[in-house]
Structure 1
């Protein structure tokens, strides 16, 4: 009886709510869950943030070394030698954005195999974009430290948002759910 009720209730809910409204409800619920989980569990625990911060700093330092920069990496701090360094703190390492990106991919309908491949690819691209962002910060801070606040505040518009929006758009195309965002 419970299975029949659940199955039929789901069908009735899906028929009475437009695909756009269903997407927005799912996206809102996932967003709320992610923010609570991040703020109450991941951020206080710190292990995942620490891993992302240290990995990002070390990889950005390696990239800059490959490009000929004389850098020093010490914990969470990356320094272009002779200049002040940058520190990647918990909450500023891209983890929150990775969760938001994933939330959209989960909220928007599509094939699960495609979804997992697309999610993994997008997360990797965003991870490496963050490494480029960290390297950019170190070089920028070495050359234009007086504009640090501007670079830090607006770097997401250059490094993350175009990638996230492009991947979200591609997912709406790849998932082949043409009627999802059409109300009615």
Structure 2
């Protein structure tokens, strides 16, 4: 058994750091959601800002979009022409996706400066992609209401998770050793 542990030590180390850091981050995030409630930033600070920034982007695309707190659930409603097109709930703020990304990066840590810069850049990219994703999803639902389920359930989750996957691939590929000629 000890021989197997030694043989797979790098894999076990990766899994321990990945799972451990993810559990710590998720626990801290749950504490933030539980104790960080605010009457000014409903339902929570991050979700509120994602909804407001999505509204600003939709407005920049030329649509008259309003965002307002939901009266019956912890969400921000994106409304156009008096019709609620989308609800931005806590799960839409992409924090869980960012925590997953950061946990992977910590488990596959390289040079400190390079890794921390990649984590920062990745989180900023994921945040921006998420705001763009919500804006385009809302516009898509407005323009093509028959495709709302496909847009929300398939295409746009693929965008955010695909971005995480491509970031991970880019990070791993940056560690490839150059092939030496014989």
Superposition TM-score, scaled by structure 1 size: 0.75
The structure-2 alpha-carbon separation of the partners of 1:15 and 1:111, relative to structure 1 and needing over 3 Å to count, comes to farther
SS of structure 1 residue aligned to 2:92: coil
Structure 2: any 5+ residue segments left out of the alignment?
70-75, 178-182
Tell me which residue corresponds to 2:72: none
Q: For the residues of structure 1 that align with 2:23 and 2:86, how far apart are their CA atoms? A: 31
Q: For the residues of structure 2 that align with 1:70 and 1:165, how far apart are their CA atoms? A: 34
The residue correspondences of 1:137-148 to structure 2 (distance < 5 A) are: 137-148=137-148
The residue correspondences of 1:83-162 to structure 2 (distance < 5 A) are: 83-154=83-154, 155-157=156-158, 159-162=159-162
Aligned residues: 162
Deviation at 1:146, TM superposition (A): 4.7
Q: Does 1:60 align with 2:59?
A: no
Decide whether the 8 Å contact of 1:110 with 1:177 is kept in 2: no
What is the aligned-residue RMSD (CA, Å)? 2.5
Tell me which residue corresponds to 1:23: 14
SS of structure 1 residue aligned to 2:90: coil
Superposition TM-score, scaled by structure 2 size: 0.76
The C-alpha deviation readout for 1:41-63, integer Å capped at 9, x for no partner, is 13323459722222222222121
Q: Does 1:37 align with 2:28?
A: yes
Deviation at 1:73, TM superposition (A): 2.3
Greater RCO between the two (CA within 8 Å, min separation 6)? Answer: 1
